[in-house]
Amino acid sequence: MKKSVLLIIALILLSVFPSCKNQKETVTPKDLYYDIERIQIDMAYSPLKEDYDPAPFEQLKADVMAGKAGRLECVFRIKKILSEYNCAHLNLVPNDGYLLFGKRLPFIFYCFGNDNHLYLTTSKYKQYLGWKLVKIGGVSVEEAREKLINYELSPYETAVGEKYEFEVSMNLLSLKEAGLVQKNGKVSLTLESPDGLIKTINCRAGYRNLFNKWVKLSPEKQNQLLKHFDTSKKYMFTASEEKQTVYAQCNSCDEDESYSVQNWFSDIISELNTGQYKTVVFDLRYNPGGDGAFELALNNELWKYKSELDKYNLALVATGRTYSCSLRFINLVLMYYPQVVLFGEETGQAIFNYTGYHKGNNLKKLNCEFIFPQQTDDQPELQKRAREVTHSDIHCGVMPDVEVFEKYEDFMNGEDTIYNAIYDYFRK
Sign of CA dihedral 69, 75, 76, 81: positive
How far apart CA 95 and CA 368 sit, in angstroms, is: 5
CB 94 within 8 A of CB 363: no
What are the φ and ψ backbone dihedral angles of 150, each rounded to 5 degrees? -75, -15
DSSP tag of 213: P
Q: What is the pLDDT of residue 291?
A: 85
pLDDT band at residue 26 under the 50/70/90 scheme: confident
CB 75 within 8 A of CB 92: yes
How far apart CA 5 and CA 49 sit, in angstroms, is: 48
pLDDT band at residue 15 under the 50/70/90 scheme: very low
Domains along the chain? Answer: 2-93 (no CATH), 102-216 (2.30.42.10), 235-349+397-427 (3.90.226.10)
Share of the chain above pLDDT 90, in %: 74
Task: Please give the average per-residue pLDDT across 238-264, as a whole number.
Answer: 93
How far apart CA 41 and CA 196 sit, in angstroms, is: 54
Nearest-5° Cα angle at 136, 133 to 137: 155
Q: What is the pLDDT of residue 77?
A: 94
Residue 2 has pLDDT above 60, yes or no: no
pLDDT band at residue 210 under the 50/70/90 scheme: low
Q: What is the pLDDT of residue 18?
A: 44
How far apart CA 253 and CA 292 sit, in angstroms, is: 8
Q: What is the pLDDT of residue 6?
A: 36
Q: What is the pLDDT of residue 394?
A: 84
What are the φ and ψ backbone dihedral angles of 15, each rounded to 5 degrees? -80, -25
Residue 3 has pLDDT above 90, yes or no: no
Q: Which residue has the higher pLDDT, 13 or 297?
A: 297
Nearest-5° Cα angle at 289, 120 to 343: 75
Of 4-13, 200-209, 233-242, which range is least confident? 4-13
Residue 212 has pLDDT above 90, yes or no: no
Task: Please give the average per-residue pLDDT across 26-39, as a whole number.
Answer: 94
pTM confidence score:
0.89
How far apart CA 285 and CA 321 sit, in angstroms, is: 6
Nearest-5° Cα angle at 278, 404 to 294: 70
Residue 183 has pLDDT above 70, yes or no: yes
Q: What is the pLDDT of residue 52?
A: 96
Q: What is the pLDDT of residue 387?
A: 87
